[in-house]
Amino acid sequence: RKEVEQDPGPFNVPEGATVAFNCTYSNSASQSFFWYRQDCRKEPKLLMSVYSSGNEDGRFTAQLNRASQYISLLIRDSKLSDSATYLCVVNKEDTGRRALTFGSGTRLQVQP
Amino acid sequence: GAGVSQSPSNKVTEKGKDVELRCDPISGHTALYWYRQSLGQGLEFLIYFQGNSAPDKSGLPSDRFSAERTGGSVSTLTIQRTQQEDSAVYLCASSFTGSGNTIYFGEGSWLTVV
């Protein structure tokens, strides 16, 4: 089983739609969680951190479910500019060892 | 500069030649990562440096790949005897120590082996 799993998509949605992505992780000791966005031929950039209580940033809502070991990203009122690949990132502090694990990403295509 | 800086941004090399890729992390960041990404694929972990600890080299695909980080700052990724399958973008990232800290990426070094 992969440490971090995402549905690769693509998710093709019309403008204005609400879309949600899930990401599951296997290490129950994981401590912090992020969603990154990657545009075509660009580097990943932080979209938002994911907090235990859930958090919202404008049209974006992130949730964490530790019991079931998944995080989610909800995008409301999709814009054409939301088209990108969304990467789930899980981090566990472990001295001297790589702690950061990326999912392979979910591709979103918002259509006019 | 304010962000992670990588050089060269683009490199075309002949098969069998050695290449060096450089990463200058954000000042004060103790953690530094190298990833590789082939076109249309996910991020492939290569190596991780954390402060003065021994690096985690578990992601290096072969002994042709090596990396060092001098003085806890600048890092160099070296690929010896390049092969066509090494063609990819090599991304460097850095962060402060601690699992909750944001990881910042450089724009990458695009390597093409012909």
Q: What is the pLDDT of residues A19-66, one digit of tens each?
A: 999 999 998 888 889 999 999 989 999 999 998 888 999 999 999 999
- Name the pLDDT band for A93 (thresholds 50, 70, 90): low
Does B102 lie at the interface with A, CB-CB under 8 angstroms? yes
Listing from the earlier edge strand, what are the strands of the sheet with A70-75?
A4-6, A19-25, A70-75, A60-65, A55-57
CA distance A80 to A38: 15
Residue A42 Cα, gap to closest chain B Cα (Å): 7
Contact between A104 and B44 under an 8 Å Cβ cutoff? The reply is no
The answer to whether the Cβ–Cβ distance between A43 and B48 falls below 8 Å is no
At B76, list the tokens. 């160099």
Q: Which pLDDT does position B7 carry in this prediction?
A: 97
What is the C-alpha to C-alpha distance for residues B4 and B114, in angstroms, rounded to an integer? 28
How far apart, in whole angstroms, are the C-alpha atoms of residue A70 and residue A86?
15
Select from B42, B103, B108 the Cβ nearest to the Cβ of A100.
B103
